[in-house]
Amino acid sequence: MSRKGRPKGSTSRYCLIKDEAILPYEIHVDESTSTYLKVISESQQTSGYYSSFPHLLRSILREKHVPQGENGKVYSLKEYIAAMNNLTEEMKGLLVPSHTKI
Protein backbone atom coordinates (compact mmCIF):
# COMPACT_ATOMS: atom_id res chain seq x y z
CA MET A 1 0.00 0.00 0.00
CA SER A 2 1.49 3.35 -1.01
CA ARG A 3 0.82 6.57 0.82
CA LYS A 4 0.64 9.99 -0.74
CA GLY A 5 1.97 13.20 0.71
CA ARG A 6 4.75 13.95 3.15
CA PRO A 7 5.63 11.64 6.01
CA LYS A 8 4.02 12.51 9.34
CA GLY A 9 5.96 15.18 11.20
CA SER A 10 7.88 16.48 8.18
CA THR A 11 7.75 20.14 7.30
CA SER A 12 8.82 21.96 4.21
CA ARG A 13 7.57 25.37 5.31
CA TYR A 14 9.83 27.83 7.05
CA CYS A 15 9.84 31.52 7.86
CA LEU A 16 11.81 33.43 5.28
CA ILE A 17 11.19 37.10 6.09
CA LYS A 18 9.93 38.88 9.18
CA ASP A 19 10.28 42.66 8.83
CA GLU A 20 8.63 45.81 10.16
CA ALA A 21 7.94 46.96 6.57
CA ILE A 22 5.50 44.09 5.99
CA LEU A 23 3.75 43.92 9.37
CA PRO A 24 1.31 42.39 10.29
CA TYR A 25 2.60 39.71 7.91
CA GLU A 26 5.66 37.55 7.56
CA ILE A 27 6.70 35.61 4.50
CA HIS A 28 7.17 31.85 4.54
CA VAL A 29 8.37 29.53 1.80
CA ASP A 30 6.99 26.08 1.10
CA GLU A 31 9.89 24.15 -0.40
CA SER A 32 7.73 21.25 -1.54
CA THR A 33 5.56 23.45 -3.79
CA SER A 34 8.00 26.34 -4.41
CA THR A 35 5.41 28.87 -3.28
CA TYR A 36 5.55 31.93 -1.04
CA LEU A 37 3.02 32.20 1.75
CA LYS A 38 1.65 35.41 3.24
CA VAL A 39 1.27 34.56 6.94
CA ILE A 40 -0.33 36.67 9.66
CA SER A 41 2.46 36.97 12.24
CA GLU A 42 0.34 36.91 15.37
CA SER A 43 -1.87 33.93 14.54
CA GLN A 44 0.41 32.11 12.06
CA GLN A 45 -2.57 31.69 9.73
CA THR A 46 -1.83 31.64 6.02
CA SER A 47 -3.52 34.54 4.25
CA GLY A 48 -2.42 33.77 0.68
CA TYR A 49 -0.23 31.69 -1.63
CA TYR A 50 1.95 33.26 -4.34
CA SER A 51 4.14 31.82 -7.07
CA SER A 52 6.57 34.74 -7.03
CA PHE A 53 8.05 36.99 -4.37
CA PRO A 54 7.22 40.29 -6.17
CA HIS A 55 3.54 39.33 -6.41
CA LEU A 56 3.43 38.56 -2.69
CA LEU A 57 5.20 41.79 -1.79
CA ARG A 58 2.86 43.79 -4.02
CA SER A 59 -0.14 42.23 -2.27
CA ILE A 60 1.13 43.28 1.16
CA LEU A 61 2.09 46.80 0.06
CA ARG A 62 -1.19 47.25 -1.81
CA GLU A 63 -3.09 46.69 1.44
CA LYS A 64 -0.85 49.29 3.07
CA HIS A 65 -1.05 52.01 0.40
CA VAL A 66 -4.07 51.62 -1.86
CA PRO A 67 -7.51 52.73 -0.61
CA GLN A 68 -9.86 49.79 -0.12
CA GLY A 69 -13.15 51.73 0.07
CA GLU A 70 -13.73 50.77 3.69
CA ASN A 71 -16.98 51.86 5.39
CA GLY A 72 -18.41 53.06 2.07
CA LYS A 73 -15.80 55.80 1.61
CA VAL A 74 -15.30 56.85 -1.98
CA TYR A 75 -11.89 58.05 -3.13
CA SER A 76 -11.14 60.55 -5.87
CA LEU A 77 -9.12 59.53 -8.89
CA LYS A 78 -6.29 61.76 -7.65
CA GLU A 79 -6.23 60.02 -4.23
CA TYR A 80 -6.22 56.57 -5.83
CA ILE A 81 -3.42 57.46 -8.28
CA ALA A 82 -1.35 58.98 -5.45
CA ALA A 83 -1.75 55.74 -3.49
CA MET A 84 -0.71 53.66 -6.51
CA ASN A 85 2.35 55.90 -6.97
CA ASN A 86 3.29 55.33 -3.31
CA LEU A 87 2.91 51.59 -3.88
CA THR A 88 5.13 51.74 -6.98
CA GLU A 89 7.82 53.78 -5.21
CA GLU A 90 7.95 51.43 -2.21
CA MET A 91 8.10 48.39 -4.52
CA LYS A 92 10.98 50.00 -6.41
CA GLY A 93 12.73 50.86 -3.16
CA LEU A 94 12.57 47.25 -2.02
CA LEU A 95 13.11 45.36 -5.27
CA VAL A 96 15.51 47.47 -7.33
CA PRO A 97 19.14 47.10 -6.18
CA SER A 98 20.60 50.34 -4.83
CA HIS A 99 23.54 50.24 -7.27
CA THR A 100 21.12 50.56 -10.23
CA LYS A 101 19.28 53.61 -8.85
CA ILE A 102 20.22 56.98 -10.19
| pLDDT tens, residue by residue, 56-79 | 988 988 888 776 766 667 888 898
**Does the residue 1 lie in any domain?**
no
Asked if residue 48 belongs to a domain, the reply is yes
- Rounded CA gap, 36 and 57, in Å? 10
Domain count within the chain: 1
In a domain, 81, yes or no: yes
- Model's pTM, two decimal places? 0.67
Tell the burial category of 47 from Cβ atoms under 10 Å away from its Cβ (0-12, 13-18, 19+): middle
| CA atoms 69, 73, 79, 83: torsion sign | negative
In the DSSP assignment, the letter for residue 52 is S
Q: How many CB atoms lie within 10 A of CB 20?
A: 5
In a domain, 3, yes or no: no
* Predicted pLDDT at 100: 63
27 is a domain residue: yes
